[in-house]
Structure 1
Amino acid sequence: MKPQFLIGAASSGSGKTTFTMGLLRALAHRGMKVQPYKCGPDYIDTQFHSLASGNVSVNLDTWLASERHVRSLYHSYGKDADVCVVEGVMGLYDGYSGMKGSSAAMAALLDIPVILLVNARSTAYSVAPLISGFARFSPDVRIAGVVFNQVSSTSHYEYLKEACRDIGMECLGYIPYTKALKVPSRHLGLAWGAQKRMDAQMNQAAELMEKHVDIDRLLEVCSTAWTARVEKTECQGNMTVAVAKDAAFNFMYRENMAQLNRLGKVIFFSPLKGDALPEADLVYLPGGYPELFAHRLQKQERLMNELKEYAERGGRVLAECGGMIYLSRSLTNRQGDKTYRMSGVLPLDCTMQNARLHLGYRKMDMAGEEWRGHEFHYSDMVCPDACPSVAVLQNAKGMEVKTPIYRYKNVIAGYTHWYWGEKNIMDLWN
């Protein structure tokens, strides 16, 4: 038996991330080994999870990967943990197509119970039909208990507990309205740039959990039989992979990195520090926030020249979003008054000016097979006709999108963060 559960909510904005961070930190303070997971493709919440728990969080996404792979990931990373905690995405039943890809579908796939977080601001007994509907909507989803957020007073909480009693739902506690308890903006790198502030908020949230949430009872009602379904994977090659990793480049799926390790040896380097480019068979430039550090990046001329020389020699490079921006000729800020020099590997110029959010699942056919990923960015590329996209990308519903994928010699770059947890990324160059 092991406590394992998914934290879901009635809607986005209910406080899932704050609650998850506080609970992860509270469990860690108790000396428990916690394995966090994120339902969906988000690579920012996983950084919050890792900071709160002390363990690297894992993405679970049935659109990016097969159900078999997702189940294997869950059991592989959770087998030695004392408790497994999955943070859901959006509302409990919100998926990319109906319920498909939703948090509820994930809980059913993994056969784990759900803790439903309900934003109780400006409501009281009316939560009864809301909770009852969520609990009865799908026979495959078991809601083990409810926690309320944004509770204004103890008398307010009494109304909420009464609602739970009347529908036979276990009430596990609440989070009082606390103005200071707010997750920093998910954009502009605050996942890295405000770690001290985040750490203090996690401790504050953990204190609230211990005081107002019955954590012992939560763990009890969510303890279910652990059935290991672990697929053995071993190192398959002797390649060397160089991976950019620092405050400017840090959007990485954990299982992607595991796959790179299976290719051979992974060496990390920091473009911000101007590290020399390691000798490698593949260079991986992941996404991140190069726009926040453009003034520092443009000073690292040696590394930019080494990247350009490596690419000209036919070296293999995979660059995603922020990594692609670093390979462009220049980056213009949001105000449009400053332009920073980038490495110039690709004949592209990037601008943040008048940019809007581009978001969603993406897929493409390349090298004879389908690749899937996720797009999340605010910048745009000024692309000359000399650098057309080499593949057509589609969204989750199969509709064509304008997101490009570029190739120059053996450099493959684009805005999409690809998931290759059950694929060989080297197949892209076949």
Structure 2
Amino acid sequence: MSLGPGLLVAAPRSGSGKTTIVLGLQRALARRGMSIRGMKCGPDYIDPAFHAAATGFPSFNLDSFAMSRPLLGAIVSEAARSAGLVVAEGSMGLFDGIRQESGRTGASADIAALFGWPVVLVLDVSGHAQSAAAVALGCARFDPRIDIAGVILNKVASERHRRLVEDGMARIGLPVLGALMRNADLTLPERHLGLVQAGETEELDSRLERLADAVESAIDLDRLMALAGPTRLDSDGGAKSLPPPGHRIALAADRAFSFVYPHVLAGWRAAGAEIVPFSPLADEPPPADCDACWLPGGYPELHAGRIAAAERFLAGLRSFAEAKPVHGECGGYMVLGRSLEDGDGVVHPMAGLLPVETSYAKRRMHLGYRVARLAEGGMLGAAGQCLVGHEFHYASVVSSDTSPGAAFATITDAEGNDLGSAGHRNRQVTGSFFHVIALG
């Protein structure tokens, strides 16, 4: 079965400028009246929100390791059915992933191969000229499952530089779809987990318009669209989405709590759940008429003082937890703990519902897939239920209850290496640093 066309915009490495180019492409094509749908390869909860702002449609994550093929197919089918063009964005380098069998590495190339999307390669050509063609040729030959259909040159220094790079591309037969000159004004603001969130980016719409203007003047959009290929789906059904934790789910949603995978919320709604947002930063408690509360990740370390002073929120959360289940992921887990130390070394009291104290001042990056098995039954499933997720944060645990009965789950990394226990459980309150992507 095939649906509307799609293509994957990727790069040989991180930092090549693919996100800004993807957003410019999405907005420029949307301005033509096309129905453009964004997709993001890998466990990234920030870029899909930018895609949605650029296109006017929801964007979803695609992850070849964490998601089953039926789930991947269901997500893409829903998007491609109503799209004039799917413009997917790769993560890191095109082939960067984990050591797993082909098709399950988490690399962007897996997604291009699975859905038959041609790849448009963004090349940061600063610091080299004809040698850029050698990089592109290596990408074109490295994986026979995929098709590198063309390249976009980024960070070009001059017209002479452009001609030199294009000469190399002509020698290997790869079409150059366009070239963008070096322009610091086109970059988006960043912080420690990546881009500043879409909802926080000042004058986001005007920034997207400037990106679209730059892309439209530098890239042959008609030629690029002609390279897109039909979206290929296998006929497997039975996608197993993460079941909703309740019928009415209180969802913390503001600048401190925003890291929720769009496919998870869509799956809950499709299963009949109602999601009721509330804002801890506005000192709002979880609505009492909900039957479960979810505190997602985000940037609570940047708002720890306001959260500690949000008495209605904290009191309401404690009251809610007396009778109904509460779960926190990453930042939400930190807020459920006893205290949170911010980047300035100030310790702020938190909800005190889980026996853990965390610190952002003692920074150490934690990054990688997590395969978890629940220690006990609860809102995320029965004891032993397998969940696949991802961890990406800089916080450290400075004190916690490490007794076996207090653990939320046991975890391994993507290669099956035992990482011990993760998170905490206190009656109906649970939390951990990893973000759940799908059932295992």
Normalised to the residue count of structure 1, the TM-score between the two structures is 0.91
Q: Say if 1:120 and 1:194 are closer, same or farther in 2 by CA, change over 3 A.
A: same
Counterpart in 2 of 1:358? 366
Root-mean-square deviation over aligned CA pairs: 2.5
CA contact (8 A) 1:405 1:412 kept: yes
Q: Is the counterpart of residue 348 in structure 1 residue 356 in structure 2?
A: yes
How many residues are treated as equivalent by the alignment?
420
Is 2:66 the partner of 1:64? yes
Identity %: 36
Local SS of the residue matching 2:280:
coil
Alignment of 1:317-396 (within 5 A): 317-336=326-345, 338-366=346-374, 367-385=383-401, 388-396=406-414
CA distance in 2, matches of 1:229, 1:83: 21
Are the counterparts in 1 of residues 327 and 431 from structure 2 also a CA contact under 8 Å? yes
- SS state of the match for residue 120, structure 2? strand
- Residue 21 of structure 2 is matched in structure 1 by 19
Kept after mapping to 2: 8 A contact 1:76/1:230: no
The CA deviation at 1:160 is: 1.9
The answer (yes or no) to whether the contact 2:260–2:296 under 8 Å persists in 1 is: yes
- Tell me if structure 2 keeps the 8 A contact 1:6–1:114: yes
Look up the SS of the partner of 1:218 in the other structure: helix
Q: Which range moves more in the overlay, 228-237 or 324-333? A: 228-237
* 1:277 partnered with 2:295: no
The SS at the match of 1:37 is strand
Opposite residue 265 of structure 2, the aligned amino acid is M
Gaps of 5+ in 2: 375-382
**1:406 and 2:408 equivalent?**
no
Q: 1:294 is aligned with what amino acid?
A: A
Check conservation: 2:190, 2:196, Cα contact below 8 A: yes
Q: Distance in 2 between matches of 1:236 and 1:273?
A: 25
* CA positional deviation for 1:268: 1.2
Q: Aligned partners of 1:84, 1:242: CA distance in 2, in Å?
A: 32
2:229, 2:397 → 1: CA distance?
49
Distance (whole Å) between structure 2 residues aligned to residue 402 and residue 23 of structure 1: 44
Q: Does the alignment pair 1:397 with 2:415?
A: yes
Match of 2:305 in 1: 295
Give 2:265's match in structure 1, choosing from 257, 260, 273: 257
1:143 Cα offset (Å): 1.0
- Counterpart amino acid of residue 207 in structure 2: Q
Residue type at the aligned position of 1:281? D
Q: Does 1:121 align with 2:136?
A: no
- Match of residue 307, structure 1, among 303, 307, 317: 317
AA partner of residue 330 (structure 2): C
* 2:47 equivalent in structure 1: 45
Structure-2 residue corresponding to 1:195: 201
**1:104 counterpart (98, 109, 115):** 109
Once the two structures are superposed, what CA deviation does each residue of 1:265-323 show, in whole Å capped at 9, x if it has no partner? 2211111112232122211111111112222222221221121122223x111210111
Spell out, residue by residue over 1:78-114, the C-alpha distance to the aligned partner (whole angstroms, 9 max, x if none): 2101110111111111111176221111100111110
Select the residue among 221, 225, 235 that pairs with 2:227: 221
CA distance in 1 between partners of 2:261 and 2:200 (Å)? 21
The 1-side partners of 2:245 and 2:428 are apart by 20
5+ long unaligned stretches in structure 1:
424-430
Which residue of 2 is the match for residue 427 of structure 1? none
Once residues 125 and 157 of structure 1 are traced to their aligned partners in structure 2, the CA distance between those partners, rounded to angstroms, is 10
C-alpha displacement at 1:66, in angstroms? 0.7
Q: Contact (CA 8 Å) 1:75, 1:230: kept in 2 or not?
A: no
Structure 1 residue matching 2:208: 3-state secondary structure: helix
Report the Cα offset of residue 45 of structure 1: 1.5
User: What is the SS of the residue equivalent to 2:214?
Assistant: helix
Q: Deviations over 1:231-275 (max 9, x none)?
A: 699999982211111111110111211232214222111111122
Q: 2:37·2:85 contact (CA, 8 Å) conserved in 1?
A: yes
Equivalences for residues 236-255 of structure 1 within 5 A: 239-255=247-263
Larger deviation: 343-352 or 396-405?
A: 396-405
Shift of 1:72: 2.0
- Counterpart of 2:154 in structure 1 is 149
Which sits farther off after the overlay, 396-405 or 108-117?
A: 396-405
Structure 2 SS opposite 1:383? strand
Letter in 1 for 2:217: K
Does the C-alpha gap of structure 1 residues 389 and 5 become closer, same or farther in structure 2, counting only changes over 3 Å?
same
Distance in 2 of aligned mates of 1:229 and 1:268: 36
Task: Give the SS at the match of 1:381.
Answer: strand
Question: How far off is 1:333 after superposition?
Answer: 1.3
- Equivalent in the alignment of 1:428: none
Aligned to 2:10: 8
Q: Does the Cα contact within 8 Å between 1:238 and 1:263 map onto a contact in 2?
A: no
TM score, norm. by length of structure 2: 0.89
In 2, distance between residues paired with 1:193 and 1:31?
24
Alignment-mate amino acid for residue 35 of structure 2: K
- Supply the distance in 1 between the matched residues of 2:420 and 2:302 (Cα, whole angstroms): 25
Partner of 2:188: 183
Separation in structure 1 between the aligned mates of residue 400 and residue 301 of structure 2, nearest angstrom = 21
Secondary structure of residue in 1 paired with 2:286: coil
**Partner SS state of residue 185, structure 2:** coil
Contact 2:408/2:431, CA 8 A, preserved across alignment: no
Alpha-carbon distance in 2 for matches of 1:150, 1:389: 48
> Equivalents in 2 of 1:184, 1:236: separation in Å?
34
Shift of 1:204: 2.0
Amino acid in structure 1 at the alignment position of 2:304: A
Equivalent in the alignment of 2:82: 80
In the alignment, is residue 134 of structure 1 matched against residue 136 of structure 2? no
Q: SS where residue 179 of structure 2 aligns?
A: strand
Whole-angstrom CA distance in 1 between matches of 2:52 and 2:158: 32
Deviation at 1:389, TM superposition (A): 2.5
SS in 2 for 1:413: strand
